[in-house]
Structure 1
Amino acid sequence: MKFGCHVSIREGYLGAARQAATMNALAFQYFPKNPRSLSVKAFNQDDAALCKDFCKKNNLTSVAHTPYPTSLTPRDNRKRKEVMQSLVNDLEIANACGSIGVVVHFGKIISLDDPLASYRLMIDVLNEILRKWHGDSKILLENTGGKPGTMGTTLEELVQVRNLCEHPEQIGFCLDTCHAFASGLWDGDNWEAVLEKGQALNYFSHLKVIHFNNSKYNTGLGKDRHANIFDHGYITESQFDQLVQTPELKDIPFILETPKEEIPHQVEIRQLQERWGLPTLTY
């Protein structure tokens, strides 16, 4: 099991990797640039290369996350151009750092009159981006935490969007446990059914990262509010047990996006290692 958390790039990409290492993590996530901007970053190639080398030597897996304004369903041509330029930039940075991919939130509804319009736009945007991209890092589509039935809350949608793109081999998935719980995809007691459906759809073959979060609200309410894994949310340890111990997930990095103000990530990573039998690591 590869447990880790989101870390800052305040000290650069190598600094982010070192920060993760000091926490005894085996994985980490980072924003490749300002998380509140779609501006293209002229990044330090040497720093990225050092990050990649450090991760390789220390058995660290990294993944990037797009800035908050990134949308795969932009509402106008100006925003569409900004999103595409920014996402290609994110992929370039992730690739230089040796990261497995860039997590991108699923699109949102743009037309109540035409429910399929959002999916068509999403596929068009992904196609245009991936025609320009030939690196190893993938786009990782993340499930959303809306109410049941809203866009991006089912495995079928994620898989079908990937299948309909021109370059599905450049697309993977990110499963957020809080989002899955909030949307009712996983209600805590139906993991076996989720696993069976995911296997039938070939979802797990392309799952590259898990956002490992508890939920401050009960399942099916569509409220995306992350909580710490132990004793701070509605998902119980025994329910997490079923997920964590799934053979299909044994090589997938589990990234915490939990409130570090309540429990520091280093402490929570240690709790995860102790709970699921991982030894303390030494760097």
Structure 2
Amino acid sequence: MRIGAHVDSTDPLAEAAARSADTIQFFLSDPQGWKTPKPREDAERLSSAAVDLYVHAPYVINVATLNNRIRIPSRKLLLGHADAAAAIGAKGLIVHGGHVNAGDDLAVGFDNWRKTFAYAADSGGFKLPVLIENTAGGDNACARRLDALARLWDAVGGYDVGFCLDTCHAHAGGEELLGLVDRVKAITGRIDLVHANNSKGAFNSGQDRHDNLGGGTIDPDLVVAVIRAAGAPVIVETPGGATGQGADIAFLRDQLGPEGRAA
């Protein structure tokens, strides 16, 4: 089981070394911006590194929305990030599940997700796995509650789409962590990555506020149980830079024992 952290994108491999991370996640552009990533000068070094790489798509992407001015650019940006992530040898591109606006039909949002994969297929498909991530808030979200996730997977499950399970988002979104992996896998059939985060917000608060594993409102043992059950690579997106994240990585390795040592 490979364990790592979300890091700054300037020199990701140095950040990995500072945390003793087996895997890292980072942005390829401004997470609040709409620019397609430029080719990285260190692409060859990244793609040949022993550290596994994941890329997080910008937060602005929302392919579910009925707003054409957001949905259409979102599709294009997601495809552009997939191309750029594949160019550095990333193992997956993580993107939030998105939402529709109040009063809009959520069913259309799920179908917009299907159309996103159909749109990509028209240009040769995504060049690496796209991992849809569960989200913490919103009553009109496509991947906050498991009932919505089931409807989303009914729409996109025919494509090669993966899933990223965030423990903070699940807790804050109102899903109990105990037994969650089994409930998710019953819907998606897979968990490709775990975002192991504690939550500053209370259960079902809808607050996307991450905390270090030893803090927050989640029993750390539950986070460890989720990781063990999922059997997937782990990324901590916790505060504190190399020191805080390094401590979280060390905690997980200690709790998981031999399972937490990279092969």
Equivalent residue pairs, number: 262
1:210 CA displacement? 0.9
Q: Tell me if structure 1 keeps the 8 A contact 2:33–2:58.
A: yes
Q: Secondary structure at the match of 2:42?
A: helix
Q: Choose the corresponding residue for 1:184, options 159, 174, 182.
A: 174
Q: Does 1:7 align with 2:14?
A: no
Change beyond 3 A, Cα 1:97–1:198: same
Q: Secondary structure at the match of 1:99?
A: coil
Q: Match for residue 216 of structure 1?
A: 200
Q: Secondary structure at the match of 2:111?
A: helix
1:242 CA displacement? 2.2
1:88 CA displacement? 1.2
Q: Match for residue 264 of structure 1?
A: 244
Q: Tell me if structure 1 keeps the 8 A contact 2:117–2:159.
A: no
Counterpart Cα distance in 2 of 1:79 and 1:147? 18
Runs ≥4 in structure 1, deviation > 4 angstroms? 147-150, 278-282
1:259 CA displacement? 1.3
Q: Deviations over 1:173-212 (max 9, x none)?
A: 11010010011212x4xx22x23323433x2x43211111
Question: What amino acid is aligned across from residue 197 of structure 1 in structure 2?
Answer: R
Counterpart Cα distance in 2 of 1:148 and 1:112? 11
Q: Match for residue 181 of structure 2?
A: 195
1:31 CA displacement? 0.3
Q: Tell me if structure 1 keeps the 8 A contact 2:172–2:208.
A: yes
Q: Deviations over 1:117-175 (max 9, x none)?
A: 22222322332134324354111111111267854223343354244238511x11110
Structure 1: gaps of 5 or more residues: none
Q: Match for residue 98 of structure 2?
A: 107
Q: Percent identity?
A: 26
Aligned-residue CA RMSD (Å): 2.8
Q: Match for residue 29 of structure 1?
A: 25
Q: Tell me if structure 2 keeps the 8 A contact 1:146–1:224.
A: yes
Q: How does 1:159-178 map to 2 (within 5 A)?
A: 159-165=150-156, 168-169=159-160, 171-178=161-168
Counterpart Cα distance in 2 of 1:80 and 1:110? 12
Q: Tell me if structure 2 keeps the 8 A contact 1:43–1:93.
A: yes
Q: Choose the corresponding residue for 2:77, options 86, 105, 122.
A: 86
Counterpart Cα distance in 1 of 2:186 and 2:22? 30
1:64 CA displacement? 0.5
Q: How does 1:24-103 map to 2 (within 5 A)?
A: 24-44=20-40, 47-54=42-49, 58=50, 60-103=51-94
1:73 CA displacement? 2.6
Change beyond 3 A, Cα 1:210–1:195: closer
Q: Secondary structure at the match of 2:131?
A: strand
Q: Tell me if structure 2 keeps the 8 A contact 1:130–1:167.
A: no
Q: Tell me if structure 1 keeps the 8 A contact 2:92–2:128.
A: yes
1:235 CA displacement? 1.0
